[in-house]
Amino acid sequence: MNYFEAIILAIIEGLTEYLPVSSTGHLIVGTALLGLEPTDFVKLYTIAVQPGAILSVLVLYWKRFLKSFLFYLYLLIAFIPAAVFGFMFDDLLDSLLESPLTVGITLFIGGVLLLFVDRWFKENENNPNQEMNYKKSLTVGLFQVLAMIPGTSRSAATIVGGLAAKLNRKNAAEFSFFLAVPTLLAATGYKLLKYLKSDGLVLSNHDINVLLIGNIVSFVVGLIAIKGFISFLTRKGFVWFGWYRIVVGGIIICLLLFKYELAIV
């Protein structure tokens, strides 16, 4: 992987990590479009570029992370379901990460659902009870499990989970950002440990530089994406993200089917 490819993937990560469009799905497609082979390092990079995006949340919301012990307890409750399922089905999830078709299908289906989210949870915007509690945290955590399927989007799943727990769009999105910190840190740490234990993976100075540059880029882009997303979501809702997912998912499915037909001929 060269620096140009690393920067492109880091931009994709920073832009899509906190949007309801699936950063994993976009990284899989981006990797394929760049013609990168799914080597151990490429797989590692798509995970190890996430700390930069995580840092953008900590910088923007640092005061919230100093708020109270309950804040961390709610994050822990929301984090546990995905941690358990992720550990149990790690090998299956790894195989799905190599499937652009899975991404296309889940992007499309998720897009259709997002078209109706604003209507389903319209009353939440006027709900005065926006405080988190144990039940709301668990609801968000259970929804986050759905995001283990590539293309679903961790952000979309957890924001919809927040809406299902009666939060308004802004608060649901912000709790999704906060939950990303322990979730992505755990996923990154686990994958790093797994790959570094692999006998076939040795990081060169070039690889380390690529990872550093990628994280710097994903951090800067993440800052911009988070600020812009909150403003857009508050004003416009989910419909545009739904249509975007439908179009992108449809294109991916059509391209794969067309390629398959050519292979038959």
Across 125-131, average pLDDT: 81
Across 213-231, average pLDDT: 91
Distances (CA, A) of 73 to 68, 69, 179, 186, 214: 9, 6, 11, 16, 31
Q: How many domains does the chain have?
A: 1
Helix axes 23-33, 40-48, angle to 10 degrees: 140
Residue 158: which pLDDT band, with cuts at 50, 70 and 90?
A: very high
Q: What is the share, in percent, of the chain residues with pLDDT greater than 90?
A: 30
Show the 3-state SS of the chain.
CCHHHHHHHHHHHHHHCCCCCCHHHHHHHHHHHCCCCCCHHHHHHHHHCHHHHHHHHHHHCCCHHHCCHHHHHHHHHHHHHHHHHHHHCHHHHHHHCCCHHHHHHHHHHHHHHHHHHHHHCHHHHHCCCCCCCHHHHHHHHHHHHHCCCCCCCHHHHHHHHHHHCCCCHHHHHHHHHHHHHHHHHHHHHHHHHHHHCCCCCCCCHHHHHHHHHHHHHHHHHHHHHHHHHHHHHHHHCCHHHHHHHHHHHHHHHHHHHHHHHHHHC
Residues in the chain: 265
Across 189-198, average pLDDT: 74
How much is the pLDDT for 91?
A: 61
pLDDT at 56 over 60: yes
Distance from C-alpha of 101 to C-alpha of 151, rounded to nearest angstrom = 10
Residue pair 150/103 in contact (Cβ under 8 Å)? The answer is yes
> pTM value?
0.83
Distance from C-alpha of 50 to C-alpha of 30, rounded to nearest angstrom = 15
Distances (CA, A) of 53 to 23, 29, 50, 57, 137: 11, 19, 5, 7, 22
Across 64-86, average pLDDT: 89
Distance from C-alpha of 93 to C-alpha of 264, rounded to nearest angstrom = 29
Single-letter amino acid, residue 51? P
- Least reliable range by pLDDT among 33-37, 56-60, 132-136: 33-37
Q: Which domain holds residue 137?
A: 3-264
Across 192-196, average pLDDT: 73
